[in-house]
Amino acid sequence: MTSPPAFNTFEDKYLAWLNGGLTFAINDVWAAKAEIVDFDRCGRFYKGKVRVTFYDHFGLDIPDIGPDPDTAEIKVYSVLGGFRSWFILQHLDKFGYKPFITVVEMDYPIKGNI
């Protein structure tokens, strides 16, 4: 089984100004889909387009503000008031806040011979 893409390497976390802040924007991918959205065949030649879609939610989970269940690591940012407030607003039902869903779609041309 392959792991979904994640943007949480050292470079992603600490050099965000170089790569546009992927850790903060996407960090992990929660779901992915690949589909053929265009396909033409002429004899033994084909061409088309594959669309890859990644889904993530812009929210916080227990490992984001407390010890990670697998590593017991506590994130440096977890003590910041903003992150703790974000977690409380998201997880306490009486506030009713929900994280928004990030959707990233990429199209790739394909072609070849059968």
Q: How many domains does the chain have?
A: 1
Is 44 domain-assigned?
Answer: yes
Convert 56-76 to b/e letters by CB count within 10 Å (16 or more is b).
beebbeeebbeeeeeeeeeee
Is 5 domain-assigned?
Answer: no
Is 3 domain-assigned?
Answer: no
33: containing domain:
10-113
**Would you state the pLDDT for residue 82?**
82
**Would you state the pLDDT for residue 51?**
97
**Would you state the pLDDT for residue 1?**
57
Is 70 domain-assigned?
Answer: yes
**Would you state the pLDDT for residue 8?**
64
Q: What is the pTM of this model?
A: 0.61
**Would you state the pLDDT for residue 37?**
97
Give, for all 114 residues of the chain, the pLDDT tens digit: 566 666 666 666 655 555 555 566 666 788 899 999 999 999 999 999 999 999 987 777 777 788 888 888 887 778 888 888 888 888 888 877 777 788 889 999 999 998
- Residue 6: DSSP 8-state: B
